[in-house]
Amino acid sequence: MREGIPQFAGESSRTPAGPGLYNGPMSNDWSRFVGFVRRHSNFFITTHTRPDGDALGCQLGLAAALESLGKSVHCVICSPMPPRYDFLDARKQVVTYAGPEPWGACDAIVVVDTGTFNQLPGIADFIRGSSAAKFVIDHHQTQDDLGGDRLVDTTAEACGRLIYEAVLALGVPLTPAISQLLFAAVATDTGWFRHTNTTPDTFALASELMAHGANPSDLFEKIYETTTPGRLKLRGVALGRLQSTPDGAVAWTEIAVGDFAATGSVPMDTEDLINDPRSLPGCQIALAFIEQRDGQVKVSFRSKAPADVSKLAETFGGGGHARAAGATVPGPLAAARDRVVDAAVRVLS
């Protein structure tokens, strides 16, 4: 089993969830969440802005499980649905938040794959003001008090593992549809099982999901082998702007807000740009600077051991994991880049 002590959750072994379900050990005690689900009927499920495969796989996988229990479920996100992951939402359940109505009737709010208000723009005020019961399921180190119960396991390689455990704890069978969504969650958050957060347990979980109907080949083709001219052109712009410190330890690229119109791309097309500076020889901290329409700059942080970019991101009001984090800092772009690069150099020194 994975090492480490989950935050806000005790270690326990799972009791059998039902006939035909996987009966291996769980890392977390899901009794509080099971009780939470039993007490409520109208669920609002959300996740972080610009959701990735882990966020959407968790949101939609949990929604399917709750619906199988007869619950009413609304899947809402803070930003437009990323075209890359549109295929995951076959029923077009996910909608972009545009105000508190009609969500005021919900008696339960579940936040997955984030535990911070700054990752929930717009929706954060709704959560703060709602009288609905709240539950956070997350695996990131950086956490705010969102006003409810939470289960945060920072040893989980993806939030998808936690939703997998939650589904089994609820006694819901792993259908092919749920398995496909959770495989997408785990596979994307581990870089298709390449990142250092991948463990033997990760492959065991992948095997379990495949046994229940997940199709890795189909997922990989749709996520990584299907693109748009705009995304390719945007990557070309980012490659042309690759820079690094003289020793190569810190590398970065940047995208200006006008680049999207110039290339025919959309902001979500920046998701993988961080991988190029990270791949440079000698790079220990990689950065991607994405200028926003409001003049602020979104920064993605990646690192190789032992650098901890979650702490670096926290100094700029963000957070995340030791090897992957993010923050939004004041512009203009050039000034933001200089401040963050200088801070990264200090971290390494």
Does residue 25 register a pLDDT over 70? no
Range in 4-8, 71-75, 284-288, 290-294 with the lowest mean pLDDT: 4-8
Q: What angle do CA 66, 67, 69 make, to 5 degrees?
A: 70
User: What whole-number percentage of the chain has pLDDT above 90?
Assistant: 85
> Which of 195, 223, 251 is the C-terminal boundary of a domain?
223
The answer on 218 and 88 residing in a single domain is: yes
Q: 3 falls in which pLDDT band (50, 70, 90)?
A: very low
Does residue 7 register a pLDDT over 50? no
Give the domain range for residue 47: 31-223
Q: What is the mean pLDDT of residues 67-79?
A: 97
| C-beta separation of 291 from 297 below 8 A | yes
**Exposed, middle or buried: residue 209 (CB in 10 Å: 0-12, 13-18, 19+)?**
buried
The answer on 256 and 208 residing in a single domain is: no
Distance CA 200, CA 223 (A): 24
Does residue 14 register a pLDDT over 70? no
The answer on 322 and 249 residing in a single domain is: yes
Residue 283 lies in a domain: yes
The answer on 216 and 80 residing in a single domain is: yes
Task: Return the higher-pLDDT residue of 210 and 19.
Answer: 210
The answer on 233 and 208 residing in a single domain is: no
Q: What is the mean pLDDT of residues 70-96?
A: 96
Q: 274 falls in which pLDDT band (50, 70, 90)?
A: very high
At 125 the pLDDT is 95
> Which of 161, 194, 223 is the C-terminal boundary of a domain?
223
Q: What is the mean pLDDT of residues 74-81?
A: 95
- DSSP single-letter state for residue 150: E
**Exposed, middle or buried: residue 338 (CB in 10 Å: 0-12, 13-18, 19+)?**
exposed
Residue 258 lies in a domain: yes
The answer on 195 and 62 residing in a single domain is: yes
> Which of 188, 205, 223 is the C-terminal boundary of a domain?
223
Residue 6 lies in a domain: no
- pLDDT tens across 300-314, in order? 999 988 889 999 999
- pLDDT tens across 100-147, in order? 888 989 999 999 999 999 999 999 999 999 999 999 999 998 899 999
Q: What is the mean pLDDT of residues 154-166?
A: 97
Here the CATH number for the domain that contains residue 210 is: 3.90.1640.10
Which of 285, 321, 280, 283 has its CA nearest to residue 302?
A: 285
Q: Which two tokens stand for residue 90?
A: 């076959």
Q: What is the mean pLDDT of residues 340-347?
A: 97
At 9 the pLDDT is 38
Residue 23 lies in a domain: no
The answer on 184 and 127 residing in a single domain is: yes
The answer on 160 and 120 residing in a single domain is: yes
Task: Return the higher-pLDDT residue of 66 and 25.
Answer: 66
Q: What is the mean pLDDT of residues 3-27?
A: 40
The answer on 299 and 165 residing in a single domain is: no
The answer on 112 and 57 residing in a single domain is: yes
Here the CATH number for the domain that contains residue 312 is: 3.10.310.30
Residue 7 lies in a domain: no
Tell me the pTM. 0.83
Residue 9 lies in a domain: no
| C-beta separation of 297 from 329 below 8 A | yes
Residue 94 lies in a domain: yes
**Cis before residue 16, ω within 30 degrees of 0?**
no
At 320 the pLDDT is 86
The answer on 196 and 57 residing in a single domain is: yes
Q: How many CB atoms neighbour CB 267 within 10 A?
A: 19
Greatest alpha-carbon span in the chain:
60
Q: How many domains does the chain have?
A: 2
At 23 the pLDDT is 41
The answer on 165 and 57 residing in a single domain is: yes
| C-beta separation of 105 from 38 below 8 A | no
Q: Which two tokens stand for residue 78?
A: 């803070």
Residue 16 lies in a domain: no
Task: Return the higher-pLDDT residue of 268 and 221.
Answer: 221
Does residue 20 register a pLDDT over 90? no
At 305 the pLDDT is 81
